[in-house]
Structure 1
Amino acid sequence: MVSVLDPVTRYAAATPDNIAIRGSGRDWTYRQLHDASLSFGGRIRAAGLSEGDRVLLAAPSVAEFIVAYMGIQAAGCIVVPVNTMSAQPEIEYVLDDADISLAIAWHQLGPATHDAGAARGVPVWTLTEESARTDQEPTAIADRDVHDTTAILYTSGTTGRPKGAQLTVGNLLSAGEIGAESSRGNSSDRTGTGLPLFHIFGQGSVMMVTFTGGGSLSLLPRFDPTAMLDLVRKDKLTIMAGVPTMWNAMLHAAADVDSSDFEQLRIAISGGASLPGEVARAFETRFACTILEGYGLTETSAFGTFNSIDRPPKIGYTGRAVPRTEVEVRDHDGNHCPAGTVGEVFIKGPTVMKGYWKRPDDTSAVLSPDGWFRTGDLGETDPDGDLRIVDRVKDLIIRGGYNVYPGEVEEVLYQHPDIIEAAVIGIPDDYYGEEVAAVVAVRSGSAVDAADVTTWARERLSAYKIPRVVQFIDALPKGSTGKILKRSIDRTGLVTLKQS
């Protein structure tokens, strides 16, 4: 018998009184989490659902999300987590595409899930603190195969409609094992995050890794930099996970914090987007804490590469392939690129998805028969084999025949003392085909203007990489994880933000 619930079951037997989840309302031991998950799974089975049925889950990062998630696993159903900010049409799309049998929505969310369920004839349960502790007869944990689909996570849909990445039981268990091995996770660890658990970073790289190591997980339902700093102190975190904008926000909210508040923190893990070197350096200086950057995607259960804890991290690099995983950089013809040459990143390993739900053509376009996944990311390795992500293939700017990687330009802009956030995009140009444009947010009271930004870049970049168009904005648009959403910046109007 194999189940995503296996790590929780293991520690519920071995260390039942150890804390599994530290929440705002109460703590959950491994035994309590295990029993509540089986009871929740019993409720699902009592409602008539069978193994393989899809269950939509809309909830923030609270303990009850985990109970419902693991209860769905115990029942042998497939969990389909969705963004808590999803609008009704977006939820209706998932209900239809995944052929959802049941939807579960956190009680503090808006009516979108309930309205979508009513429109599509799908029953919707309201998840509360009380309903997560149901006294329903517990289910026997479903016997699954490692290749069975156990979660469907919809991609952001930067091109076309969102696609559902099918993650298997083996994918998620492997994510937990690989992450615990890479971070040397153990039962004494106290991990904390403000990441959403409905996102693969929160699920694969934080939740599964924490439970595989037997440690505790502290959650923020919604990221706030001050609250995250308080969580570090209150719960004495040893591991913290976030995205670059979170580290940046914490730096600017840390007026009353000193490095002693971080002395027990042994690992800070960054992913989701490239970490600007200036942010990494400032964080280490401010808190005496090194951020280790990793790289992965929804389709690889959040894993690909990670900086080793046994050697100093290289700023700007995401490390080498994680255990049991292969990573290659290839050129347009599929040939292996030598160190220092930019190409597309490919990943092969036990965390690579089964394929896209009901999308065989899309699956075959990115997943080869021998298991190699085509990421769509541009990267290069150094002589040591460490990977540096240059940019997304689709974000590449071609100005007058020259390739401009937005991440390289953004790195320079982040070095400016007054620039807090930066996004570089290509905009149409009659002469060059594309022109380099920068959208930036600056410190309050800053007198920096467009000419200053251009001058700063000119002193540090080749002429063809300099942003010729600079627009200022209060804050850049971000997704649920805090990742800057370039697709929300209208490339024709530059800063006319699209409605989400």
Structure 2
Amino acid sequence: MTVQPEASSKTAQASSGATSCLPGTLEHWAADRPDDIAIVDGDTTLTWRAWNDMADRVAHALISLGAQPGDIIAIRSQIRHEWQILHAAAAKIGCSVLPFNWRLTSHETRFVLEDSKAAFLVFDDDDPAACQEASEGLPLKAVISVGAAQAHGIVPFSRLLDVAPPSPLFSAARPPLIIYTSGTTGRPKGVEMVHAEVTPELFEYVESVEEADPQRPGAVTLLTMPMHHGAGPGLCWSSARAGNAIVMMRRFEPEQALAEIERYRVNHWTVVPTMLKRIASLPADTLARYDVSSIRSIRVGAAPVPSTVREWTIGHFGHVLHEGYGATEVGMISHLRPSDMQRKPGSSGRPYRHVHILIKDETGHPLPAGQIGAVWVKSPVVIDRYLNGPPLARDVLDSDGYFAVGDAGRVDDEGFVYLSDRIKDMIISGGVNIYPAEIEAAMITHPAIEDVAVIGVPDDEFGEAVKAFVELRAGASLDAKTLQAFIQPLLASYKRPRSIEFVAELPRSTVDKVLKRELRNPFWKNQERSV
């Protein structure tokens, strides 16, 4: 089956409130092209009409459970069509959506729920235990299971759909999105990715981002980016706004991705470098088996792209590779076009319209082109505080509205940005942000540990792997296997160190600060970049 929009059904009877449809919304396409396919999720396909009908039903069911405009719906889910239904229902009600990583432990999940003050928790775990434990005693209006989990007090998602055909509801805009990120404190923080004031600068910025890789009528997008990452929802939005189909993969499998590209004639695909590495490692006869000529663009980001991966991708897919640089707190920053890939090797591209980059020295003064320093970014979507938090301090957001993204880099005389290192300690493994301070805070609770330092070391498959250096208390003994078992209930699997090294003493400065650079340097000295 090829997912291409059929001829528009101009004779289709729209709902009684069709005059309330805004262009580019789900309701608009449900009225204009009701029988065209909008979503493919494995064996499940949804037309625009079916998607809109389900979203109406879920919205009314959530209202009956107490949902009100401004409520936060926290969704712990893998990539699946129910996320799209919930997202659309939230837009109809005026709720915010908070997607978060389905691999978080119950302890981590509870923190997100408490910190955000979420009103609803939706999860797709087959075993409800972790979410039951995380939500126990919290003032949630409902806990909803999308998966197979059945337990007392949990509302099955199917029950939200099992209502009489409701009156139509209409969305004015996409729902506010909240993405949890973190920093040197080790505690995740929510970023509200919504801006009430639509200024000309904001409009032109969004237009600039979309024009970098425009969605033409009839295009098909493959979604392999997780929904708790800003790219996942963003791809869903751009496809829906253009009235185009999106093909969702629950879990990324390299050969299956190629099969989906061929089967559905996919045009747009956004990835992290690890996905490209896994495809490149497939046998030559497997790669030759699939027709990928439909691809118009592959956007890669969330982690640095090694030159070998970039060159292989261009060789296999053609000159379709776009590289992006962004941060949750400031939005998309820059874009490297396919035409500049070989002319500007190692660059992350030029800033989008109304995005300004300053490179500052250690005293906070701007540096000229070509000199490396701290990267500060000002954009139309930069935040001034985290969710439920105080205004950001001047060492994070300066008086001119520039945000310290935590990277070191330079800008050349043409305005292209190059990243060379990270100032913050964040690790990027397989495109996922991992925060050492959070891992260290969990590990140091073991009574045998005096201190711990976590760093990222090079990894051929994931870009970086988590490594921990552990200093024990005098007279204490501990081995790596016992320590791994200790932290298992405290940290999601992807955060746990791949390797643990016990040291007599961690390197420290004269003010007793652990010198992580001394730990990192031996691992990164022969790499293309130390980021």
SS at match of 2:75: strand
Structure 2 matches for 1:451-490, cutoff 5 A?
A: none
Q: State how far apart, in whole Å, the 2-side matches of 1:179 and 1:38 are.
A: 30
- 1:159 is matched with 185
Alignment-derived partner of residue 462 in structure 1: none
Pairing 1:307–2:356 present: no
Asked whether the equivalents of residues 268 and 289 of structure 1 are also in contact (C-alpha less than 8 Å), the reply is no
1:166–1:240 Cα change, 3 Å: same
Alignment partner, residue 240 of structure 2: 211
Residues 187 and 216 in structure 1, CA contact (< 8 A), matched pair in contact too:
no
Match of 2:144 among 122, 125, 130: 125
Q: Provide closer, same or farther for how the CA distance between residues 370 and 9 of structure 1 changes in structure 2, counting only shifts above 3 A.
A: farther
- SS of the equivalent of 1:34 reads helix
Alignment correspondent of 1:73? 91
5 Å-filtered alignment, 1:385-396, equals 385-395=415-425
Q: How many Å apart are 1:167 and its aligned residue? A: 1.3
Distance in 1 separating the partners of 2:268 and 2:82: 22
CA distance change for structure 1 residues 485 and 106 in 2, over 3 Å: closer, same or farther? closer
Distance 1:325 1:35, change over 3 A: farther
How many angstroms does 1:489 deviate by?
A: 6.0
More deviation, 243-252/130-139: 130-139
Q: Is the 8 A contact 2:74 2:121 kept in 1?
A: yes
Instruction: Decide whether aligned partners of structure 1 residues 317 and 45 sit closer, same or farther in structure 2, where only a CA change above 3 A counts.
Output: same
Q: Indicate the residue corresponding to 1:59 in structure 2.
A: 77
**C-alpha separation in 1, matches of 2:265 and 2:245:** 11
Listed as ranges, the matches of 1:215-254 within 5 Å are: 215-254=244-283
TM-score (norm 1): 0.73
State the shift of 1:70 in Å: 2.1
Q: Distance in 2 between matches of 1:269 and 1:169?
A: 25
Distance of 2:294 and 2:120 partners within structure 1: 42
Q: Which position in structure 2 is the counterpart of 1:429?
A: none
The equivalent residue for 2:323 is: 293
Q: Distance in 1 between matches of 2:189 and 2:498?
A: 19
From 100, 103, 106, the equivalent of 2:124 is: 106
Partners of 1:99 and 1:64 in 2: CA distance: 23
Q: TM-score, normalised by structure 2?
A: 0.69
Specify the SS of the correspondent of 2:409: strand
**Deviations 1:127-156 (Å, cap 9, x if unpaired)?**
257457454635634667x9xx92221114
TM-aligned CA distance change 1:216 to 1:333, over 3 Å: farther
Corresponding letter in the other structure for 1:222: R
* Matched residue SS, 2:97: strand
- Contact kept? 1:339, 1:381, Cα under 8 Å: yes
The alignment partner of 1:356 has SS state of coil
Change over 3 Å in CA distance of 1:357–1:300 after alignment to 2: same
Partner of 1:11: 29
SS at match of 2:241: helix
The aligned residue for residue 232 of structure 2 is: 202
Mark the structure with the bigger radius of gyration: 2
SS in 2 for 1:191: strand
CA distance in 1, matches of 2:206, 2:45: 22
SS at match of 2:212: helix
Gaps of 5+ in 2: 1-18, 148-156, 437-452, 462-493, 504-518, 521-531
Q: Do the aligned partners of 1:232 and 1:262 also contact (CA within 8 Å) in 2?
A: yes
Q: Please state how far the C-alpha of 1:366 moved relative to its aligned partner.
A: 2.7
| Candidates 336, 339, 344, aligned match of 2:366 | 336
What is the alpha-carbon distance in structure 2 between the residues aligned to residue 2 and residue 324 of structure 1? 32
Cα 1:438–1:27, aligned 2, differ >3 Å: closer, same or farther? closer
Using the alignment, how far apart are the partners of 2:363 and 2:29 within structure 1?
Answer: 48
Shift of 1:25: 2.2
**Cα deviations across residues 47-82 of structure 1 (Å, max 9, x unaligned)?**
112111222111111111111122122211121111
Q: Does the 8 Å CA contact 2:61/2:160 hold for their aligned counterparts?
A: no
Contact 2:24/2:242 (8 A) holds in 1 = no
Q: Distance in 2 between matches of 1:321 and 1:99?
A: 35
Paired residue for 1:46?
A: 64
Structure 2 match to 1:94:
112
2:194 is matched with 168
Are the equivalent residues in 2 in contact too, given 1:379–1:387 (CA < 8 A)? yes
Q: Describe the SS at the equivalent of 2:370.
A: coil
User: Which residue does 1:320 correspond to in 2?
Assistant: 350
Q: Say if 2:261 is the partner of 1:261.
A: no
Q: In the TM superposition, what is the alpha-carbon distance from 1:337 to its structure 2 partner?
A: 2.8
Aligned CA RMSD, in angstroms, stands at: 3.8
Match for residue 388 of structure 2?
Answer: 358
Any conservation in 2 of the 1:74–1:139 contact (CA below 8 Å)? no
The percent of aligned pairs where both chains have the same amino acid is 24
Residues 310 and 351 of structure 1, relative CA distance in 2, 3 Å threshold = farther
How far apart in 2 are the matches of 1:490 and 1:382? Answer: 39
Structure 1 residue 212: Cα displacement: 2.8
How far apart, CA to CA, are the structure 1 residues paired with 2:391 and 2:21?
A: 29
Given that residues 177 and 209 in structure 1 are in contact (C-alpha distance below 8 angstroms), is that contact kept between their aligned partners in structure 2? no
SS at match of 1:315: coil
CA 1:142–1:124: 2 relative to 1, 3 Å:
same
Question: Counterpart of 1:374?
Answer: 404
* Paired AA for residue 351 in structure 2: A
Q: Go from structure 1 to structure 2 and tell me whether the alpha carbon gap of 1:101 and 1:395 turns closer, same or farther (over 3 Å shift).
A: closer
| Distance in 1 between residues matched to 2:400 and 2:191, nearest whole Å | 18
Q: In the TM superposition, what is the alpha-carbon distance from 1:373 to its structure 2 partner?
A: 2.4
- CA–CA distance in structure 1, aligned partners of residues 24 and 401 of structure 2: 25
Cα separation, 2, equivalents of 1:307 and 1:165: 25
Distance 2:36 2:189 in 1: 38
- Tell me, yes or no, if the aligned pair for 1:262 and 1:289 is still in contact at 8 Å: no
**CA deviation after TM superposition for structure 1 residue 370, in Å:** 4.6
1:361, CA displacement in angstroms? 4.6
Cα deviation, 1:166-196, whole Å, max 9, x if unaligned, reads 1115699968754432102122211113211
Q: Which amino acid aligns with 1:77?
A: C
1:21: Cα distance to partner? 1.5
> What is the one-letter code of the residue matched to 1:117?
S
* One-letter identity of the residue aligned with 2:275: M
CA distance in 1, matches of 2:254, 2:371: 37
Classify 1:12/1:263 alpha carbon distance in 2 versus 1 (closer, same or farther; 3 Å): same
Q: 1:363 to 1:237 in 2, by over 3 A?
A: farther
The answer as to 2:299 corresponding to 1:273 is: no
- Tell whether the 8 Å contact from 1:163 to 1:357 is kept in structure 2 after alignment: yes
SS class of match (1:261): coil
> d(CA) in 2 for partners of 1:379 and 1:350?
21
Q: Is this contact kept in 1: 2:222–2:270, CA < 8 A?
A: yes
CA contact (8 A) 1:180 1:186 kept: no
Q: Distance in 2 between matches of 1:132 and 1:250?
A: 39
